[in-house]
Each structure stands twice: as structure tokens, then as C-alpha cells.
Chain A
Amino acid sequence: MVVDDHPMWRDAVARDLAEAGLDVVATAGDGEQAVRRAQAAVPDVLVLDLNLPLKPGVQVCKEVVAANPALRVLVLSASGEHADVLEAVKSGATGYLLKSASTEELIDAVRRTAEGDAVFTPGLAGLVLGEYRRLAGEPAAGTPDDPKAPQLTDRETEVLRLVAKGLSYKQIAERLVISHRTVQNHVQNTLGKLQLHNRVELVRYAIERGIDRADDA
């Protein structure tokens, strides 16, 4: 399913995907339409622009993943939307591609996203590294049930840095003398930990709000 508010772009992406043999089950031109149609059409992959009318792409990502955790979201956006890209990734998107990508890159990214692989650009790797750094720098709340900020292992940091420096998974595998699959697993784990942390934080926030309300009553 393809979500973008520019009809020409949306149709071109849908056509490219269809020509590559993929089944485009729906398209949508705004955020609300996207949420409704994703629920009705149940796509495997949602190709999502972040800059949407009626409902921001980040919110669309949150709602469709909450409704169907098996749905994979590939964010396709213009550069310079860093905060939004990071937020989308934390709320469940597993891939990010710039709109300047070629048709071949897009088709490859959609296929990989469908298979459950994390699709990173160097830019996303830099953002994820920065996010872990920020989480580590936040003052610890220090309560026993407080979730610790997620941390990268040395190997994960090493792999992410190489992705951010523009090396392909194949080149990274060669340099670190590990398998392609292992590189992929490391990259995926860096996203998985961020998403898990995000879910835990949301649940905690909800519980705190719930308790507050009970106190008020």
C-alpha cells in the first residue's frame, strides 16, 4: 500500500511496484484515509510519506502498527525531516528511504521490508546513533521498576557507524569478517531495542496517567 499526498508521485510509485510484480492493494492521499484503508486492505508493507494532510505520517505509523503489529512500515520521505523519521522508527517503522532513491532501490527496499529486514540509510544510522547517545545521557530516574535506557553493544555501535559511513552490508560483513546475516541482525537489534524502549515508556506513561485519574476521583 502506497501513502502520499502528491497524486503523480503516488501513482508513479504504485506503478513501479506493480511493474516489479508486487501487488499494490491500496493507495491513500491523506493520513486519515491511510489509517482506514490500511485496516481494510491489510497490506504486508505500507510505503509511507511522513508529510501528510489531516493526520501526520508519524501518527499514521503509530496507529497502523498498533492495530496490526505484523504490518511493516517503510518510510519514504524528503530529507530534513529528522525528528519525524526518528519518531516513526521508534513507533514501529522498520525502514527508511529518501525520496531521491532510484526505482531499483525502492523495489529492493520494499522487498526487504516485507521479509522483515531493517532498511537503513546512512542518515538513519546517524540518527539512531545520536538517539542512543541522548538516551544514555538522560538522568536516570532511579526507581526499581524504571526501565533502563537501551544500550548498544560495542559490535552494534561498530556496525551502525559503518552503515552511517555509507558502507553496504556486504562491505561491512567483509570488513568485520562476519556474515551478511549477522550484519543484518545487528542492525535490526538496534531498531528493536529502541522500539521496545518506546513501548515500555508509553505503557508507563499510560499507567501514570491512569493512577493520577484514580487519585483525582
Chain B
Amino acid sequence: MTLSEPGAPVLLAPPVARELAAAVSAALDNVRRHAGAEAHAWILVEDEPGEVIVTVRDDGPGIPEGRLAEAEGEGRLGVALSIRGRLRDIGGTAELISVPGQGTEVELRVPREAARDARGKAGKAR
């Protein structure tokens, strides 16, 4: 596994950071399960002014076109749905990208605004 990051701490409110970390773990579990033991995974962390983006990519066989929608229809996308749910809870989005021969990418985006809101809520809860 290879981690690429901006070379400086990326600060997020604790509840947002926790959900994001859990989503990354779920994505890595997914790589282990579907891309095989020989697969390599890359994680890219980007700190943009408006959002934090974490991408998890593998070099597995990828998902054939149409297969994703099919699996979703059959309700067999447990992991993808749990990732999406986690991101939705913190105001973010999760996108699955698969290019034939180039593995699968899960792109997690958390807007800075949402991160601030969650921080505010966490503050009030205390």
C-alpha cells in the first residue's frame, strides 16, 4: 500500500475524521476482498480550500461496465453503500470509478463547510 499526502497535517473535526477513516478502512477491506491478495492499493489525500479528498485506488481487475448498477439493483453493494452512508453523514460524497485495466477508485469528498458544521455540533454536544 502506498500513501501520498500533501506533506502537512490535514485538519478535520474529530467526528468527521473518524467517519472518513472508517470509510477508508471499508474501501481497503473491499480491495482485499475483490482485487485479490496480489493487488496494490494507493491512498491519495488532498487538502483543497473547499474540501478534503481521499482517494483509494487498487490495481485489481476493476468492475466491468454495467456490473455495478446490476449489483446495486441486487442489493449486493453492502460495502459501497456503507461507505456512501458514512460520507453522507458528514456531508460528503463517495464516488466509485472503474476504468477497464486500471483498477477501481473510490473517491471520498468532504466539504470544508460540512466539516465546520460537524465541529460546531460536536462543540455544542459537549
Chain A positions within 8 Å of B, measured between CB atoms, are 82-83, 86, 121-123, 125-127, 129-131, 133-134, 137, 161, 164-167, 171, 174-175
Contact = CB atoms under 8 A, between A and B. Distances in A.
B83 to A, nearest CB: 17
B4 A131 contact: no
B105 A133 contact: no
Contacts of A83: 7
B7 A122 contact: no
B6 A165 contact: no
Given A166-B40, A167-B102, A123 B6 contact: no
A130 B6 contact: yes
Contacts of A86: 7
B19 interface: no
Interface of B: 2-8, 40, 42, 44-49, 55, 57, 59, 99, 101-102, 105
A171 B44 CA distance: 17
A161 B46 CA distance: 9
A171 B100 CA distance: 11
A133 B48 contact: yes
Contact of B7 (A121, A131, A167, A171): A131
A122 B6 contact: no
A86 B6 CA distance: 10
Contacts of B6: 126-127, 129-131, 133-134
Given A123-B2, A137-B49, A171-B102, A165 B44 contact: yes
Given A126-B5, A127-B4, A130-B46, 6 more contacts: A86-B7, A126-B44, A127-B7, A130-B7, A164-B42, A174-B102
B27 to A, nearest CB: 13
B42 A165 contact: yes
A126 B45 contact: yes
26 contacts: A82-B7, A86-B7, A122-B4, A122-B42, A123-B2, A123-B4, A125-B4, A126-B4, A126-B6, A126-B7, A126-B44, A127-B5, A127-B7, A130-B7, A131-B6, A133-B48, A137-B49, A161-B55, A165-B42, A165-B44, A165-B55, A167-B102, A171-B101, A171-B102, A174-B101, A175-B99
Given A133-B48, A175-B99, A175-B102, A166 B7 contact: no
Contacts of B5: 126-127, 130
Nearest to B99: A175
A21 B60 CA distance: 35
B2 A122 contact: yes
A164 B49 CA distance: 19
Given A83-B7, A165-B57, A133 B47 contact: yes
Contacts of A137: 49
A134 B8 contact: yes
B46 A129 contact: yes
Contacts of B59: 166
Q: What are the 5 closest A-B residue pairs judged by CB atoms, nearest first?
A: A130-B6, A126-B4, A166-B42, A164-B4, A82-B7
